[in-house]
């Protein structure tokens, strides 16, 4: 390895420089760092001198970026706001159609307005505050959409239940003929005493077709005292219908029916009858109801049967 020497005036001779390369590298690094700091400081001073508004430009750039973010979120808010308004209006209509109590969520509306007018000129801090406000509002609207989703599921389930109810509910006159004795207290034509008449009598010839006025399950088929040949149908939701004085029944116990299915033929069976007719009852939770309230004049029996 090559050696380096220097002349010592005190010793009057050449002295070897020990660890020359290590000392040389250290000096190079030291002066490099020193020069770098000097140049960087000079640049900052020079840049501040020739470009004094650099910080302002930086803030303007940040301001522009924040404004762009705000505008994007504002557009998202507008889309959500329109969507939630449509959903809310539709859900109100559907809840009324499904016979459900309306739900009000006014606390999640009306939060927009001036607070969310697009920014024109504002400081970065003001824009940041508005962004936080808008973000909070969007989160609330998103939450409302989730609530509306649950609302729609409730409406859908209610519609399905109502659809089943409407298809099961007795809603037509079970056979052709003239309505005779009314529902309520009357003088019994055979017993000659006042007693409750729990149904209506439809005067018709023997052998007239009898149809179920609503969907259900055949619960009873057989003879029942003064009623003679009797049929009972369970329509669900607490509703049952009874058909008495029949000549014959064409369905079996446990059979599933839909509105308009042929179930029996009218007759004159039983001890408590004065002539051919159909005794027809509607009961709910065991309580006799007036069958006339379940016979709609604007519904043609044969329109139902054709289906």
Pairing of strands 209-211, 287-289: unpaired
Q: Please answer whether residues 247 and 239 qualify as being in contact, where contact means their C-beta atoms are separated by less than 8 angstroms.
A: no
CB atoms within 10 A of CB 260: 18
- Full-model pTM: 0.55
Q: Please answer whether residues 172 and 211 qualify as being in contact, where contact means their C-beta atoms are separated by less than 8 angstroms.
A: yes
Please report, to the nearest 10 degrees, the dihedral formed by the alpha carbons of residues 29, 34, 36, 41 taken in order.
170
| Distance from the Cα of residue 204 to its chain's centroid | 49
The closest of 239, 249, 257 to 278, measured between CA atoms, is 249
- Rounded to whole angstroms, how far apart are CA atoms 203 and 245? 11
| Predicted local distance difference test score (pLDDT) of residue 185 | 61
Residues in the chain: 307
Q: How many CA atoms lie within 13 A of 112 on its CB side?
A: 17
| Predicted local distance difference test score (pLDDT) of residue 32 | 79
Pairing of strands 13-16, 200-203: unpaired
Pairing of strands 209-211, 262-266: antiparallel
- Rounded to whole angstroms, how far apart are CA atoms 78 and 102? 25
Tracing tokens 């924040």 back to the chain, one arrives at 66
| Predicted local distance difference test score (pLDDT) of residue 113 | 44
| Predicted local distance difference test score (pLDDT) of residue 214 | 92
Hey, what are 230's tokens?
């009797």
Hey, what are 56's tokens?
């302002």
CB atoms within 10 A of CB 192: 7
pLDDT in tens, the chain (307 residues): 566 555 556 766 665 656 656 666 677 787 777 788 777 777 666 666 655 566 666 766 776 777 777 777 777 777 777 777 777 777 777 777 666 776 665 544 444 444 445 555 556 666 667 767 777 777 777 777 777 778 778 887 877 877 888 889 898 899 999 887 676 666 555 556 566 678 899 999 999 999 999 999 999 999 998 899 999 999 999 999 999 999 999 999 999 999 999 999 999 998 777 789 999 999 999 999 999 888 876 566 666 665 5
Q: Please answer whether residues 239 and 164 qualify as being in contact, where contact means their C-beta atoms are separated by less than 8 angstroms.
A: no
């Amino acid at each position: 390895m090559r050696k380096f020497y220097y002349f010592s005036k005190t010793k009057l001779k050449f002295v070897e420089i020990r660890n020359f390369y290590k000392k040389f590298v250290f000096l190079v690094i030291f002066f490099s760092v020193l020069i770098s700091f000097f140049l960087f400081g000079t640049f900052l001073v020079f840049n501040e001198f020739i470009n004094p508004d650099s910080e302002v430009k930086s803030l303007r750039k940040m301001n522009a970026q924040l404004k762009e973010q705000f505008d994007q979120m504002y557009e998202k808010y507008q889309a959500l706001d329109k969507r939630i308004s449509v959903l809310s209006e539709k859900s109100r209509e559907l809840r009324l159609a499904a016979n459900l109590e309306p739900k009000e969520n006014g606390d999640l509306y009306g939060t927009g307005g001036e607070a969310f007018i697009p920014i024109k000129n504002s400081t970065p801090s003001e824009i940041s505050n508005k962004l936080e406000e808008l973000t909070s509002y969007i989160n609330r609207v998103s939450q409302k959409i989730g609530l509306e989703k649950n609302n729609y599921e409730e409406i859908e389930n209610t519609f399905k239940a109502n659809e089943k109810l409407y298809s099961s509910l007795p809603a037509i006159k079970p056979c052709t003929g003239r309505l005779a004795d009314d529902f309520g207290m009357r003088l019994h034509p055979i017993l000659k005493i006042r007693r409750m008449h729990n149904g209506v009598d439809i005067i018709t010839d023997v052998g007239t077709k009898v149809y179920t006025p609503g969907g259900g399950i055949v619960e009873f088929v057989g003879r029942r005292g003064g009623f003679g040949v009797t049929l009972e149908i369970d329509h669900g939701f607490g509703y049952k219908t009874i058909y008495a004085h029949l000549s014959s029944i064409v369905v079996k116990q446990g059979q599933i029916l839909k509105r308009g299915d042929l179930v029996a033929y009218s007759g004159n069976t039983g001890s408590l009858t004065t002539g051919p007719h159909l005794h027809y009852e509607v009961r709910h939770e065991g309580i006799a109801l007036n069958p006339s309230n379940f016979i709609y004049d604007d519904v043609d029996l044969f329109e139902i049967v054709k289906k």
